Chains A and B, each alone.
Chain A
Amino acid sequence: MVTVKLFGTLRLDSGVREFTAEAASVKELYPLVLREIRAKKADTAVTERSLRACLVAVNGEQVSPRAKLRDGDLVYLFPAVAGG
């Protein structure tokens, strides 16, 4: 079981902050994230493609979207941001 948190405009668009899922890799996670989002917001504009474009961090460190996951991992998904 991993915990997934969404950030940035992805969170505002989906209305999903956090949920738990069974996934062995980030790749496996994408359809589960989309399902969670659609359950909350059926008419969401978020797609699996837009999820794949997000940056991924596991346990606080940025990782490749191909990274494997372990039980208890904390996964962040967030679109790129700038400007300060």
Chain B
Amino acid sequence: MTNYCGYMGKVVLLDLSTGKAENYIWTDLDREKYIGGKAMASKILYDSLTGKETPFSPENLIVIATGPLTGTGAPSSNRFDISSLSPLTGITSSSNCGGNFGHYLKKAGFDALIIRGKCERPTWVEIDNGEFRFHDAASLWGMKAGETQEALQKELLAEHGKPVRCGMAVIGPAGENLVRYASVISGERAAGRAGMGAVFGSKNLKAITSAGDAVPSVFDKDKALEHHKRWVSYIRSHPLTGEQLPRLGTAGLVSSMQVHGLLSTRNYAKGRFEDFEAVSGEALAEELNVSNSGCLSCPIRCTRRVPVEGKTVKGPELETLGLLGGNIENRDLELLCRWNYELDELGMDTISTAGTLAWAMEANEKGLWKNGLSFGEVDGLSQVFDDIAHRRGIGAELAEGSKRLSEKYGGKEFAIHSKGMELAAYEPRRAVGQGLGYAVANRGGCHLNGGYLVVLEGLGMNVNGQTPRGKADLCMIMQDLMEAISMGGQCLFTSYGVVPAFMIRNPNGLLAKTVNAVVPWIGPAVRVLNKAPEIACFQLFLLPYTYELNYTVGMKMNIGKFIRAGERSYNVERAVNARFGVSAENDKLPKRLTDMPQDPKRPDTKVPLEQMNMTYYRARGWEKNGLPSEKKLRRLGIR
């Protein structure tokens, strides 16, 4: 139980081997330190994993965690997190999803679900108002994600005699066949990255449904409601969250990335794609987009709805447009939308699929692996995706990801991954802070876990993308802030409101130019804030998250505590990874990005990683081996 509002007060450990569910002790002190979501999951993994587990062993845990704001009506608070040892990277990883499963997990009475063990045969688990029921999933095995969810609705209808409103987390064939980057699907949304679907598959877990009648309480309803209204109004009035994202979605970034040299092209050989307009957000809006939609409780509504095979389905995000567009030299937008749908249905991460495919095309071109794949030849790729999901032919090899393939065939210098996870669509040689983020990110080549500095370095703001100055400190503070935002269950897109509207509306103005020029110099101030966050004992309108935790959860929160919670989250995740052998040696990027300038005439268009890494470790107060010391962990209250 808990004295805080927003939480359901229960964390449950479900053992698939025995079928038993037991209470997992999670105290209010834990809630104050880790709040929820990914941070909570990381601490549970830290307390449970020894370093000897492997991703597909029954001892590996899956932690599905919600935030205290999920289900309370707070804006954009429908996110949930799945954390586990990743089959792609072999270390801890997390995958955040906007589907409804988290919302309904709380309705069933739980803040988090921890899964261990393995079912003897294909199984789906029903959670109903705190009760667990195991069902045979033999008839579902082999089904795609959408088909599985439809079949589950029918089974629930037959069991309960009426339609059941529930959240679902399911896998497709890719998860069943242990594709290392298989996703978990909830509705139409994916917990896409890091192969969480394969961990489900390794446990013979086809699906989980969750339903119930519980409702999280709100600490101060009047103040919370007033704050929600003010925040929603701000989100809707901001040029990014109120105009660009609802009208163009993340797809709207393609054109801007092209201009800034940030658009991954031809397996990251280039940062610009000559036919970018064919696969841009504008083309999507003008030619295909029939409407937009959003996650539960989200006023931004950034999702694209596009026609595919006579249906209206979720459209591609920027990462998919970039990586299944220019990165494999595809110019066919309709085909790309179909692939996006097919990959979701197969239950496969579009980013890692596309990254692995681009590597394979280049390996074929260079004669390292004769696989029949070529840049720009895209007609048979639907079949290749299906082959990956079912591990047939070359699909069986592609299912391993680019790191393993490059170790087998050669071509490590152009295997575009970090720690085994393929990078998102932002080419980092023109945004070196983003390059640092990719390298040091706990889960591997992730733009968000890496601090998303590209939002300062050309997208949103216009800070010099080539200078390493200040980037290590900015990377750290951005990572910590994003961790903290995610803990509550909120979408990171709400954070774009932190960039003041005037910077976006008038990027050529003197004030915006001055801010852009000053930002690289604020590193020392960031480091002071990180060393002594207690000086930030106040709240800020541009960071509404602390107000939300005060009013909705009843947790006394200020900016300093919020940043500290984010830092704690990042460190505990790093400490888990240390048990699995991660150190500074793993914070790397392929040579294509660190040694070869994007523009041969400009030697600075590469990522000066070594220099930034050491500054980053110093900023974090880590040892030279890139790990937090015992003292550091104690100081953060982790030990």
Contact = CB atoms under 8 A, between A and B. Distances in A.
Interface string B218-254: 0000000000000000000001110111011010110
A48 B551 CA distance: 43
A84 B248 contact: no
Nearest to A58: B259
Contact of B447 (A7, A76, A84): A84
A8 B246 CA distance: 12
Contact of B508 (A11, A52, A82, A83): A52
A82 B250 CA distance: 8
Given A7-B282, A61-B259, A83 B505 contact: no
Interface in A49-84: 52-55, 57, 60-62, 64-65, 76, 78-84
A8 B248 contact: yes
A9 interface: yes
Nearest to B504: A80
A55 B247 CA distance: 19
Given A82-B459, A82-B460, A83-B240, A8 B259 contact: no
A83 B241 CA distance: 9
Contacts of B506: 53
A64 B3 CA distance: 56
A12 B260 contact: no
A55 B503 CA distance: 12
B282 A83 contact: no
Does more than half of chain B's interface fall in helix, strand or loop, or is it mixed?
helix
B493 interface: yes
A82 B494 CA distance: 11
B14 interface: no
A41 B455 CA distance: 32
A82 B259 contact: no
B449 to A, nearest CB: 14
Nearest to A62: B259
Contacts of B503: 80
A69 B506 CA distance: 22
Contacts of B499: 82
A76 to B, nearest CB: 6
A78 B259 contact: yes
A8 B318 contact: no
Contacts of B272: 60
Nearest to B260: A62
Contact of B252 (A8, A53, A60): A8
A57 B424 CA distance: 24
Nearest to B251: A84
A81 B454 CA distance: 11
Interface string B308-325: 000000000111000000
Nearest to A66: B508
B169 to A, nearest CB: 24
A9 B243 contact: yes
> What band does the interface of chain A fall in when counting residues whose beta carbon is under 8 Å from B?
20 to 34
> What band does the interface of chain B fall in when counting residues whose beta carbon is under 8 Å from A?
35 or more
Does more than half of chain A's interface fall in helix, strand or loop, or is it mixed?
loop
B245 A83 contact: yes
Interface in B320-378: none
Interface string B572-612: 00000000000000000000000000000000000000000
Contact of A82 (B253, B258, B281, B319): B253
Interface string A28-60: 000000000000000000000000111101001
Contacts of A84: 250, 253, 317-319, 424-426, 447, 459
Contact of B247 (A9, A76, A78, A82): A9
A65 B282 contact: no
Interface string B444-472: 00010000000100011110000000000
Contacts of A61: 259
A7 B509 CA distance: 20
A78 B260 contact: no
B285 interface: yes
Contact of B455 (A8, A76, A78, A82): A82
A80 B459 CA distance: 7
B239 A80 contact: yes
Contacts of A12: 247-248, 282, 285-286
A54 B247 CA distance: 17
B255 interface: yes
B275 to A, nearest CB: 13
Contacts of B459: 80-84
Contact of A8 (B282, B447, B505, B509): B282
Contacts of B132: none
Contacts of B260: 62
Nearest to B252: A81
Interface string A1-28: 0000001110110000100000000000
Given A61-B259, A79-B504, A82-B244, 17 more contacts: A9-B244, A9-B247, A9-B252, A12-B248, A53-B505, A53-B508, A60-B258, A60-B259, A62-B462, A78-B255, A78-B259, A81-B240, A82-B459, A82-B460, A83-B250, A83-B460, A84-B318
Which 10 pairs of residues, A with B, have the shortest CB-CB distance?
Answer: A82-B460, A7-B255, A57-B259, A84-B318, A84-B250, A80-B507, A80-B504, A53-B506, A81-B256, A82-B459
24 contacts: A7-B256, A9-B243, A9-B244, A11-B282, A12-B285, A53-B506, A53-B508, A53-B509, A55-B256, A55-B507, A55-B508, A60-B272, A62-B259, A65-B508, A80-B503, A80-B505, A81-B244, A81-B253, A81-B460, A82-B504, A83-B241, A83-B250, A83-B455, A84-B426
Interface of A: 7-9, 11-12, 17, 52-55, 57, 60-62, 64-65, 76, 78-84
